[in-house]
Amino acid sequence: MLNRKYVFMMMALIMTAVVLVACGGGDEEPQNEEQPEGTAGQGGEDAGEVNIYTSRHYDIDDEIYADFTEETGIEVNIINGAADELIERMNREGEASEADLFYTADAGRLHRAKDQGLLQSIESDIINENVPENMRDRDSEWVGLTQRARIIAYHKDRVDPEELSTYEALTEPEWEGRVLMRSSENVYNQSLLASFIELHGREEAKDWAEGIYNNLARSPQGGDRDQARAVVAGEGDVAIMNTYYLGGMLNSPDDEEVNVAEQLGIFFPNQETTGTHINVSGVGLAENAPNPENAVKLIEYLTTEEVQETFAAANYEYPVNPNVEAASTIQEWGEFDSQDINLSILGENSAEATLIFNEVGFE
Amino acid sequence: MKWFRSLKTTMNLWTVFSVIFVLLVLLPNLSIIVQFFAEPNENWLHIREYMLQNYIQNTLILVFFVGILTLFIGTSLAWIISAYDFPMRRFFQWGMILPLAIPPYIGAYTYHGILNYTGVIQTSLRNQFDVTVNQQYFNIMNMPGAIFILTIFLFPYVYTITKAFLARQSTALVENARILGSSSWRIYFRVVLPISRAAIIAGVSLVILEVLNDYGVVSYYGIQTFTTAIFQTWFGMGDLQSAVKLSGTLMVIVLGILVVERIARGRRQFSFTTTKVKLLQPVKLEGRKKWYAFSFCMFIFSIGFIIPVIQLIYWATMTYEQLFSHDFWQLIWNSVSVAFTASTIIVIMAVVISNFARLNRGMLAKTFPKITILGYSIPGAVIAVGVVTLFTALDRQLFGFYEWLGLEPTLLISTSLFMLVFAYVIRYLAVGYNSIESGFDRIGTNFTEASRMLGMSVTKSFFKVDMKLIRGAIFGGFILAFIDIMKELPLTLILRPFNFDTLATKAYQYAVDEMIQQAAIPSIFIILVSGIAIYVFHHVLEKE
């Protein structure tokens, strides 16, 4: 008897699976049928949609997209993923790709998408007015939306900010065993070194990578927040990290993280020389975008003053729109001069930067 | 001609389906295999000069230690729990599978969160006792740390497969050894380990493949392995071709290991055929001994499950508002439905292929099992590329058909869940396959042959005889695949349709931004769902 029961169970299992597959297909198809109809078929009455491939994943993004839909009636569809995987997916999909926008948190990646012919230029006076030129691609194929600085965080008791000056100074012997930085696999470090290649040439950039590596307090590990913890724990005295991680820690639900962040000071390096390294999170218009007008509308919306304010503040970033003031947490850190280079360069030099890191053995 | 004749004699539905399934697995991998033979470019030379040696070394260290440790922890637990009776044994029987419910990268973040400067241990020491410790002692982000994490969250693979074997098949040998007066240790080393070799190898090779593919743990802990090299090449240098070449190398190494294992096993058979399956009767432990056994199990269970789960729950209390802002029912439904569908398909395919492979001789029957491993030996993100290529090409072929149906020429299949489920099947076929194969392995072919002699067809024999004997293995394979898919990341991230989120993608989106507190709630749901699956699995087996 048991055996019959068992066979019955297996059959039930298989049936359920078949039904599920069928349902899965069934659920899917109408959704997909709607997409082309929505855009091409009845464009007049229906405001249509816009499809985003994004590697950003903050809750605020969803809220802002929802506001956009409410205001314009345009539906926003999202696929999240790692930037390079999304680039590859767009590549493989080719002309048939349904992506309208490619959104990621690093200028280097945006450039890579452009380089592979995945983007087209964005023509909009509103965007050109809202976003300064150096935060837009030279051919307007992508636009920065929020910016962040890669700064030196120091321990308020152990380090006098007077001792700090530039990124380069951290390679001096007096900083031996005191510097913390995460792995060179991280894209923010690759972009940082890419900017040095532009400003000082390959040789000096390589010397810098080697010098920092020799001065590290420990072998690179963990994320940016871990570097901050290590400074407070006394493993090192200064950390090279992005501003918004400190913002996140200062507003963390975990009191201990707040405690750590409060013991750190922020120093904007290279103020007398080349300026502090900045990077953007930005968006590119896909070459084969099925809904380019809606896509441009969304970018315009994201650069407006009202949206920029909440958008940047939610993740403790700086707005790109110069008419918008930064959030209060960020304002307290003070103003700074940034590197005067077009951010496209970060992408152009990023492969070279990876090679240099490997050559000097920076893990 | 000879080959053709042998094909004709083995031709039946099982063969046909096996060939179709294997081709399905091979197709998306083709674009990867082709790249493997591409001319080496400049980046490849750079990789070889600066990275490869160190990366291979680290990978070997990691694989070796995790392999050995999971072997001993998994088999010793399986032995103690099957052969002895002690407090909470009934719970440990299935409780020991629970660590598998925790995705290793979440475990890595969690243990780091417990031990780091802002973690609960150091914080209490500092705030209550005013003790600040040397960070080195609490640093888990290194090679031993990674070995620890991967061991503690992967050993259940060895445990489940070995235990299923011991409970049903080892009775005669173990009881003889007991009668002959062997000590427990002696039986473990001299009887248990040798006779469960097939099961152990099945379990350990799953662990090794998981380790080779792990990116989450090693990249967070800053350990450079083969997988890091693959992603460094792809993401850092933007060179997918060299990355694929590296994956190809990895695939060759894995296949090499498997071939060596087959040769080592040689012709020796490890199946016993008796007319009745006699369950191993646990011996009741008394006095101090029973507490030793209990403590050992409790210790492993605590570090593998209780401690990380408590930490996650603590974090969840900090961010509970999230429960109201996300639709967790939807996330759970998404996760469960795709995992369930994919695991069912995996089990069916695995049964067909392994039944074909064991009943036939010849090239096809020998090659097929190795091909099922293919997907498991390549990092998920690389498979994703192969799958997207395949489905986009398929959609292009179908453009005409779509137009005829009145649809815009567009990507129908490659923007549907079908692609994701397909990718899961390719990726995790090996998990189902290994479990079912070792099930077939231990029943041997005697029953089947008897049934065939009595005039039943292969198909009839399967449903009337074989399936009843290996149902445990089938369920085991299903559950392992299900849990793996619940935790899966790179495939889900890149291949999902628009607006489709799962628990794993939600947990990832926070963890990757170092917002571990916010990642806690989706992680807990993953553990809960997988935990229930494990419990149901155990319950069903128990009832038999």
Domain of B219, CATH number, reads 1.10.3720.10
Instruction: State yes or no: pLDDT of B143 exceeds 60.
Output: yes
Place of tokens 């012709």: B267
| Of A295-304, B21-30, B80-89, B496-505, minimum mean pLDDT range | B21-30
Name the band, by pLDDT with cuts 50, 70 and 90, for residue A14: low
- Taking an 8 Å cut-off on Cβ atoms, the answer to whether B514 and A355 are in contact is no
Q: What is the pLDDT of residue A25?
A: 40
Name the band, by pLDDT with cuts 50, 70 and 90, for residue B158: very high
Mutate to test the interface with A, among B242, B277, B494, B517 (most CBs of A within 10 A): B494
Contacts of B340 in chain A (CB under 8 A): 16-17, 20
| Of A79-88, A146-155, B112-121, B277-286, minimum mean pLDDT range | B277-286
Find, in chain A, the residue whose alpha carbon is nearest to that of B127: A256
Is B1 inside a domain boundary?
no
Mutate to test the interface with A, among B54, B133, B235 (most CBs of A within 10 A): B235
- Taking an 8 Å cut-off on Cβ atoms, the answer to whether B236 and A351 are in contact is yes
In order of start, what are the domains of chain A with their CATH numbers?
47-147+280-331 (3.40.190.10), 148-277+338-359 (3.40.190.10)
Q: What is the mean pLDDT of residues B325-329?
A: 78
User: What is the per-residue pLDDT across A159-199, written as a single tens digit (0 to 9) for each?
Assistant: 999 999 999 999 999 999 999 999 888 889 999 999 999 99
Is B329 inside a domain boundary?
no
Question: Positive or negative, the Cα torsion across A237, A329, B321, B488?
Answer: negative
Q: What is the mean pLDDT of residues A319-347?
A: 88
Strand locations in B195-297, DSSP E? 283-284
Which helix H or strand E contains B528, and what residues bound it? helix B516-543
Q: Is A201 left (phi over 0), alpha (psi -120 to 50) or beta?
A: left
Instruction: State yes or no: pLDDT of A26 exceeds 50.
Output: no
Is B150 inside a domain boundary?
yes
- Taking an 8 Å cut-off on Cβ atoms, the answer to whether A221 and B221 are in contact is yes
Is B4 inside a domain boundary?
no
Instruction: State yes or no: pLDDT of B119 exceeds 90.
Output: no
Instruction: State yes or no: pLDDT of B46 exceeds 60.
Output: yes
User: What is the per-residue pLDDT across A52-63, written as a single tens digit (0 to 9) for each?
Assistant: 999 887 888 888
Rg of chain B on CA atoms, in Å:
24
Is B139 inside a domain boundary?
yes
Is B10 inside a domain boundary?
no
User: Residues of A at the annotated binding site for Fe cation?
Assistant: 57, 244-245
Looking at the structure of chain B, the number of domains it has is: 1
Closest partner residue to A185 (CB to CB) among B117, B219, B240 is B219
- Taking an 8 Å cut-off on Cβ atoms, the answer to whether B237 and A226 are in contact is no
Side-chain half-sphere CA neighbours of B248 within 13 A: 19
Portion of chain B with pLDDT greater than 90, in percent = 25
Instruction: State yes or no: pLDDT of A45 exceeds 60.
Output: no
Contacts of A235 in chain B (CB under 8 A): 135
**Token pair recorded at residue B336:** 């469960």
d(CA B40, CA B393): 26
- Taking an 8 Å cut-off on Cβ atoms, the answer to whether A92 and B388 are in contact is yes
- Taking an 8 Å cut-off on Cβ atoms, the answer to whether B497 and A28 are in contact is yes
Q: What is the mean pLDDT of residues B337-359?
A: 91
Q: Check residues B104 and B434 and name the one with the higher pLDDT.
A: B104
Contacts of B116 in chain A (CB under 8 A): 226, 229
Find, in chain B, the residue whose alpha carbon is nearest to that of A191: B236
- Taking an 8 Å cut-off on Cβ atoms, the answer to whether A32 and B410 are in contact is yes
User: What is the per-residue pLDDT across A209-220, written as a single tens digit (0 to 9) for each?
Assistant: 999 999 999 988
Name the band, by pLDDT with cuts 50, 70 and 90, for residue B416: confident
pTM, to two decimals: 0.82
User: What is the per-residue pLDDT across B163-172, written as a single tens digit (0 to 9) for each?
Assistant: 877 877 677 7
Mutate to test the interface with B, among A59, A84, A349 (most CBs of B within 10 A): A84
Among the listed residues B379, B191, B206, the one whose alpha carbon sits nearest the alpha carbon of residue B272: B191
Among the listed residues B377, B431, B382, the one whose alpha carbon sits nearest the alpha carbon of residue B254: B377
Is B330 inside a domain boundary?
no
CA B342 to centroid of chain Cα atoms:
14
- Taking an 8 Å cut-off on Cβ atoms, the answer to whether A96 and B396 are in contact is yes
Is B5 inside a domain boundary?
no
- The residues with which A266 forms a beta bridge, in sequence order, are A153
d(CA A77, CA B500): 10
Contacts of A209 in chain B (CB under 8 A): none
**Token pair recorded at residue B99:** 């660590």
Reported ipTM: 0.74
Q: What is the pLDDT of residue A29?
A: 35
Portion of chain B with pLDDT greater than 70, in percent = 92
The whole-chain average pLDDT of chain A stands at 85
- Taking an 8 Å cut-off on Cβ atoms, the answer to whether A78 and B499 are in contact is yes
Question: Residue B344 is part of which domain span?
Answer: 16-30+39-318+337-543
Q: What is the pLDDT of residue A36?
A: 39
Q: What is the pLDDT of residue B407?
A: 65
d(CA B240, CA B238): 6
- B140 — phi, psi (to 5°)? -105, -10
Cα-based angle A266, A270, A276 (whole degrees, multiple of 5): 65
Measured between CA atoms, how close is A252 to chain B, in angstroms?
A: 9
Find, in chain B, the residue whose alpha carbon is nearest to that of A40: B408
| Of A55-64, B93-102, B523-532, minimum mean pLDDT range | A55-64
